[in-house]
Amino acid sequence: MSDQRSIFDVHGPVQRHDTKDGSTTLFSENFQQYYHNPNGALSESELVFFSSNGLNQRIQASNGPIHIFEMGFGTGLNFLLAAHKMIEAGNSHALHFYSVEAYPITSELARGFTYPITWAKAELNTWLPKVFSGLNQGWNTFQPDASLPIYLHLYVGYLKDIQTQMKLNHPIDYYFHDAFSVEQNPECWTDEVFMCYLNWGHAESIISTYAAASRVRAAMAAADWKVFKAPGALGKREMTIACHPNSKAQPENLTPCPNERLKNRWFGGEWN
């Protein structure tokens, strides 16, 4: 991409796809990949980003503000679901949802999305089209409903740009690592990225991702995260959860990965 080109010009064609649980996702021609598991976008989001990492319990506990960082805003489904869960649980603490997206979709496309869910507030249906219609390059902050302390901080640009310019008022509690696969989107799965996550987090921060490749786990282990296997979503055998090296607690039912071996494989150059 030349420096003169706007980031909005590089968005390639995407096609709408209805997944098997009745929720909408997209297929990216550029990346040749679906944005979610075609067996169920909503179901995948629920398992990978809310139940496997303990976030559902944290939302129910309503014991303080929650800070999430998502790699890859895509359709915005994960943000919408997080907001829905806060409202449904009657959690009146703040939700700060940070995300990054290099290729934002259009408002028209977002208007057509359907999800098999009764939203905690009917207006939630209108939030994403509004977000996508009002984006500028760099940081965009939205409070979609003035009566709710729910904030979206969306960086329009590349992940590599915020690696050096991240502005946080509070450390991140939960990372939703939702890039395309490591084969198609390798720059989002490096030890440098997971090192940034370590610096932006705290001792109880948790990363969750649908991915289970050894290369992904090795990049996390190389950045000193404690990496675990968890049961995968919708026909996938495994996914990955990583806890901060200083964590005292970890989500239940996780199997540790061979972290030292993965680290040695990473630094041995197996994936260079």
User: Rounded CA gap, 43 and 215, in Å?
Assistant: 25
| C-beta closer to ligand SAM: residue 53 or 78 | 78
Q: Which of 21, 46, 178, 191 binds ligand SAM (CB under 6 A)?
A: 178
Cα dist. 156→159, 163, 264 in Å? 9, 13, 35
Q: Which stretch binds ligand SAM (CB under 6 A): 90-98, 141-149, 176-184, 198-206?
A: 176-184
In whole angstroms, the minimum distance from the beta carbon of 72 to ligand SAM comes to 3
- Read off φ and ψ for residue 46, nearest 5 degrees: -60, -50
In whole angstroms, the minimum distance from the beta carbon of 71 to ligand SAM comes to 7
List binders of ligand SAM among 4-63 (CB under 6 A): 35
In whole angstroms, the minimum distance from the beta carbon of 179 to ligand SAM comes to 5
| C-beta closer to ligand SAM: residue 8 or 158 | 158
List binders of ligand SAM among 55-74 (CB under 6 A): 70, 72, 74
In whole angstroms, the minimum distance from the beta carbon of 264 to ligand SAM comes to 27
In whole angstroms, the minimum distance from the beta carbon of 225 to ligand SAM comes to 20
| C-beta closer to ligand SAM: residue 48 or 220 | 48
| C-beta closer to ligand SAM: residue 18 or 63 | 18
Handedness of CA 157, 26, 205, 214 (dihedral sign): negative
Q: Which of 87, 150, 159, 206 binds ligand SAM (CB under 6 A)?
A: 159
| C-beta closer to ligand SAM: residue 234 or 262 | 234
User: Rounded CA gap, 175 and 98, in Å?
Assistant: 9
Instruction: Check residue 123 for interaction with ligand SAM (CB under 6 A).
Output: no
Q: Which of 21, 44, 46, 101 binds ligand SAM (CB under 6 A)?
A: 101
Instruction: Check residue 188 for interaction with ligand SAM (CB under 6 A).
Output: yes
| C-beta closer to ligand SAM: residue 56 or 264 | 56
Strand order in the sheet with 33-34: 14-18, 24-28, 33-34
User: By the criterion CB under 6 A, which residues form the site for ligand SAM?
Assistant: 35, 70, 72, 74-75, 77-78, 100-103, 158-159, 178-180, 185, 187-188
